[in-house]
Structure 1
Amino acid sequence: MNYYFKFKSELEKRHLWEVSIYLFFGGLTTLINIIIYFIFREWIKTNYIIANIIANIIAILFAFITNKVWVFHSKSENVKELIIEFSKFVLYRLLSFGLDMIFMMICIDIIQTGDLFAKLFTQVLVVIANYIFSKLFIFKPKGKEV
C-alpha cells in the first residue's frame, strides 16, 4: 500500500492524478462495456446495435459511481442535486453513445471492419469525450459553473 501512496503523491505533484485515475476507471468501464457487448453479441446472439445499447447502459451506471466517488470526489448535498448530476451524466453519456453508435455503424456497415475493431476504436473516442464532458459539465466543483 505504501507504493500506492508514493505513486499517487508523485502524480498529484505533477497534476496527473485525476487524469490517471479517470483513465484507470475509464479502462474498467471500457472493459465492462466490451465484455457485456460480446456476451450479448456472441453468446446470446443479439444484433450488434442491441448488444451495444445494453453494454452502454451497464457501463454508464458503473461509470457514474466511479466518476462521482473516486475520480471527481463529487458530493451531493441532497437528492435533488444527485438527480441533477445523474441526469447531466446520462445526457452527456447519451451524446458519447451517439458517437459510439455512429462510428460503430461506419466501421461495420460502411468500412466493413470487424465489430471487435470497431468497438475498440470507438471506445478510445468515447473515453476522451467522456472525460471532457465530466470535467467541464458534470462534476465541476461547486461555484464553477460553465
Structure 2
Amino acid sequence: MKIKKEVVNYLVFGVLTTLINIVSYGILSKIFNMDFKLATTIAWILSVIFAFITNKIYVFNSKNLNVLLITKEFISFIFFRLLSYIVDIGMMIILVEWMKMDDLVSKILVNVIVVIVNYFASRYFVFKTAE
C-alpha cells in the first residue's frame, strides 16, 4: 500500500514537475526566442529545485531535517538529476537537430522517459528508506 501511495504521489508531483519544465521551456524558447539547449538547461534547473522539495516531503516522506542528511540527499538527488539531464539534452539534440522534430513535441516525449528514470533513481538511491 505504501508503494502504491508513493507511486501516485510521484506521478502527481512528476506531472507538476514536468509542467514546470515544459512551460518554462516553452516560455523561454517561444516567447524569449532562447536557444533550445539553454532553455532546456534553465527549465531543468527550475524543475529540479521543485522536484527535490516535493519528492523529499510528499513522495518519499523524508521528513528528517538534519542538515547532513538533507545535504547528502540533495547531492545524491542532483547527481542523478544530472544523469537525467544528460539524457534530456542528448535526446533533445537527437530529436530536434538530427531528426528535425518540433522542439516542444520532442520536449514532451523526452520528459516521459526522464520521469521514469528519475522515479527509480529517487526511490532506490536518493530517498531510500529501511523497509
TM-score, length basis structure 1: 0.86
Q: Where does the alignment leave 5 or more consecutive residues of structure 2 unmatched?
A: none
Task: List alignment gaps of at least 5 residues for structure 1.
Answer: 1-11
Find the counterpart in structure 2 of residue 127 from structure 1.
115
Q: CA RMSD in A?
A: 1.4
Q: Bigger radius of gyration, 1 or 2?
A: 1
| More deviation, 75-84/45-54 | 75-84
| Deviation per residue, 1:99-128 (Å, 9 max, x gap) | 001110110011111001110110000000
How far the C-alpha of 1:33 sits from its partner, in A, is 0.3
The one-letter code sitting in structure 2 at the alignment partner of 1:115 is: D
Identity score, percent: 43
Count of residues in Structure 1 that have an aligned counterpart in Structure 2: 131
Aligned mates of 2:73, 2:64 — CA distance in 1: 8
Q: Tell me which of 56, 62, 70 is aligned to 1:74.
A: 62
TM superposition score normalised by structure 2? 0.95
In 1, Cα distance between the equivalents of 2:65 and 2:31?
A: 43
Partner of 1:51: 39
CA distance in 2, matches of 1:91, 1:73: 20
